[in-house]
Amino acid sequence: EIISDDYFYNMIVKDQGVGIPEDELSRIFEPLYRGTNVRNNTFGTGLGLAIVQKYVEMLYAEIYVSSQPEEGTRFIISIPKDPNIF
């Protein structure tokens, strides 16, 4: 979903998965980090969100995450519209 206002394009990505434990949210953008609730039963390398964060930084954007265990996770990427920022 993309929502636009006067200053930002906000891209929202959400799922209805297992969620991310609150005490692990601060680490999910670390390269090679994999959550304890998916480490042994879901394939992954722990690189995806680290790469996403680097691209977000290249766009002078921000990424926000919220999650509820057993309900899912929601990411919002806010990209500035100001052409002078680039």
Summarised one tens digit per residue, pLDDT across range 4-50 is 999 999 999 999 999 999 999 999 999 999 988 888 888 889 999 99
pTM exceeding the 0.75 threshold for the entire prediction: yes
* DSSP element (H, E) containing 14: strand 8-14
Q: What is the pLDDT of residue 86?
A: 62
1, 11 in Cβ contact below 8 A?
A: yes
Q: Span 48-62, mean pLDDT?
A: 96
| Residue ranges of domains in the chain, CATH in brackets | 2-72 (3.30.565.10)
Higher pLDDT, 32 or 84: 32
